[in-house]
Structure 1
Amino acid sequence: MPGNNNATSPGSLPSLSALAQQDRVKPDEMPIGQILGNGQFKLMELVQNHPALGLTYNAINQKGDGFIVKVDAEANLLSFIRSEAGFLQAVNKAGKCEFFVEFIHGAKFKSWIYFVARFRPGPSINDCWCSSPSGKLTVGSASRVAYFYFKAIEVVHSLGYLLRRVDPNVIKFDASTRQIYLSDLSSIRLDPSKLQMELPAKWAGAPIYAPLVHHQGKPHSTRSDLEPVIYLLVEMTVGQLPWEGTPPDLLGSVKRRSVTKQTLFNDCPPQYAAIYQYISLLGDSDKIEFADIYSKLEEVWKSAGIKKVDDQFDWEERMKKFEQ
């Protein structure tokens, strides 16, 4: 998938993400086998060492249950791990863990800060999608993936945050509960408009999914979180976006032309364009009527013969064959 693009436009205020990288302290790696949380968690494997996001480990408890541990240097006061941990704790209090990973524990240890989240087994939507011989998902499955993604965004916004990213690699299918959820919230930020902050939020995901305001150098808002989900929905449905492979300096204009001429929605159910039109007409301060979006998506999957939102997804039959 394309890499993140978090650059600020010339003359604009720096984003909080940009400030977080100034004078950033690189955390030392914790040794494998390190015990954390008063003897509760044992580090088993370093799975990521990211220059901006810190360290990520697989861990287990004494029962052998799996966990994810995210670590950063305590000196990084604007650490992404601090914001992700704060958001996940708010999710716990709101009782909305089904759309995310569950925060279990967080603390300071020597020169590190860290938090522990419960591991949820299952493939990413990117894995499910790539396993399809046609290179795409049926509209019955694609529309329900988008439905759960919008559900997650609704929770994010209700807690005063912005998501700022779409990435099919971190949209996961929990094989135990059959729930679609987000496994990584490192892009999460407090919504500056709710805090009357002058520091603008910026898009933090791949440019191919970026909202049009990103290409115009404008700040990211709640509306900007919705638009990229439609791009992902179209891509899952038809196999690729019309601007795939476009040079970065032309991406914004090609994207705008595809939307304006409605060629983006060729071979898609009409509800896709209707949802996009609703989103595009929203003002930054307008209330988002998520129920209207859910209703349109439900029309899509029901017209495809799917009766309930939790009916079998495309990839589940392939998973069964693989397990056999």
Structure 2
Amino acid sequence: MEAVVLRTLQPVRSPYFCRLFFCGRAERFNFIIMTLVGKNLNELRVNCPKQRFSRSSGIQIGIQMMSAIQQLHAVGFIHRDVKPANFCMSLENPRQLVMVDFGMCRKYVTDGGCELRHPRWFVHGFKGTVRYAPLAAHHGRDSSRKEDLESVFYVLVELLVGTLPWMTMEDTVHVEHAKQIARTTGLHEFLSGCPKQLVHILLYIDSLRFYDAPDYALIRGLLNSALENCPHECAYEWEEEMKNERRKSEYLRSKEEVELEDG
């Protein structure tokens, strides 16, 4: 599935996805060769002061996550395992987000791409990561584009606040219950520390139904309005560190090439 999705994305030539160089089978294992990427959002967040991004960095990353998920949906797939570890920063550009790990993707359109697939009538096993899974996944229902957006929302809240109310819970039932409470009676407490636009975004996502095509531009517009009082051009918290690592890597590579020539 990883190779199928990446191959489908290649004509798009999007900066939000890795380039697929080759894939195949060798003896008893499958392999895939694709673009090397940098640290993921979870690694970057825990290294930040208070383990959260600044509002400027977090919102700009949220806008990029929304664009990446829109492009994945545009080629007919839903991700079903959206989480910080599945978004990495490009090694070429420390401000560019790259979405990875498509092993749990599913086509939400028919093979011709003209019609939406109907939800399966039976309850199936849990898919995704408990902390960021949409409510539908907790109930064993089929996911749609809406559910990907719900997971992106949870990721964004964690990046901005540094935690989620159910972060220390592992039991699926308890996490589901905590999410229900946070999204109803405790909505404003849940989003404390986040810009007010996130309340409108969550209410919009909740209004979507299985077959609805999300208005990605609407969500990006709300996120952009949350950036109005933030410095857009400030470097991300990790940007300078990644530049230094890249310079060090280039230096070591050039040194190695010189040694090889001399040898």
TM class by shorter chain equals 0.7 to 0.9
Counterpart of 1:174 (choices 75, 78, 90) is 90
Partner Cα separation in structure 1 for residue 2 and residue 109 of structure 2: 16
* 1:222-237 equivalences in 2 (<5 Å): 222-237=145-160
Give 3-state SS (helix, strand or coil) of 2:228's partner: helix
Identity percentage of aligned residues: 24
Q: Which residue of 2 aligns with 1:19?
A: none
Question: Given the two structures, how large is their TM-score scaled by the length of structure 2?
Answer: 0.81
CA 1:119/1:137 → structure 2, altered by over 3 Å: closer, same or farther?
same
Deviation, 1:216, is 2.4
> Which one-letter code corresponds to 1:240 in the other structure?
T
Partner Cα separation in structure 1 for residue 147 and residue 55 of structure 2: 23
Q: Which residue of 2 aligns with 1:160?
A: 76
Give 3-state SS (helix, strand or coil) of 1:105's partner: strand
* 1:1-324 equivalences in 2 (<5 Å): 83-96=1-14, 98-120=15-37, 122-178=38-94, 179-191=96-108, 194-196=116-118, 198=120, 204-246=127-169, 248=171, 249-261=173-185, 262=187, 263-306=189-232, 312-319=235-242
Give 3-state SS (helix, strand or coil) of 1:294's partner: helix
Deviation, 1:245, is 1.7
Partner Cα separation in structure 1 for residue 73 and residue 39 of structure 2: 26
CA 1:94/1:202 → structure 2, altered by over 3 Å: closer, same or farther?
farther
RMSD between superposed Cα atoms in Å: 2.4
Q: Which residue of 1 aligns with 2:113?
A: none
> Which one-letter code corresponds to 2:174 in the other structure?
L
- Which structure shows the higher helix fraction? 2
Contact 1:238/1:267 (8 A) holds in 2: yes
Structure 1 residue runs of 5 or longer lacking an equivalent are 1-82
Could you report, residue by residue, the CA deviation over 1:187-246 in whole angstroms, capped at 9, with x for unpaired residues? Answer: 222226734574878763221111111222322111011001111111111110112223
CA 1:303/1:208 → structure 2, altered by over 3 Å: closer, same or farther?
same
Partner Cα separation in structure 2 for residue 210 and residue 222 of structure 1: 13
Give 3-state SS (helix, strand or coil) of 2:155's partner: helix
> Which one-letter code corresponds to 2:34 in the other structure?
A
Partner Cα separation in structure 1 for residue 21 and residue 126 of structure 2: 28
- Which structure shows the higher strand fraction? 1
Partner Cα separation in structure 2 for residue 223 and residue 124 of structure 1: 23
CA 1:112/1:231 → structure 2, altered by over 3 Å: closer, same or farther?
closer
Structure 2 residue runs of 5 or longer lacking an equivalent are 111-115, 249-263
Give 3-state SS (helix, strand or coil) of 2:142's partner: coil
Deviation, 1:109, is 4.1
CA 1:146/1:171 → structure 2, altered by over 3 Å: closer, same or farther?
same
Deviation, 1:133, is 2.1
Q: Which residue of 1 aligns with 2:253?
A: none
Question: Given the two structures, how large is their TM-score scaled by the length of structure 1?
Answer: 0.67
Contact 1:163/1:189 (8 A) holds in 2: yes
Partner Cα separation in structure 1 for residue 92 and residue 65 of structure 2: 19
Q: Which residue of 2 aligns with 1:12?
A: none
Deviation, 1:175, is 3.1
> Which one-letter code corresponds to 2:160 in the other structure?
T
Partner Cα separation in structure 1 for residue 19 and residue 195 of structure 2: 35
Could you report, residue by residue, the CA deviation over 1:250-307 in whole angstroms, capped at 9, with x for unpaired residues? Answer: 2111111111121211121001111111110011111211111111111122322215
CA 1:107/1:197 → structure 2, altered by over 3 Å: closer, same or farther?
farther
> Which one-letter code corresponds to 1:255 in the other structure?
K
Give 3-state SS (helix, strand or coil) of 1:236's partner: helix
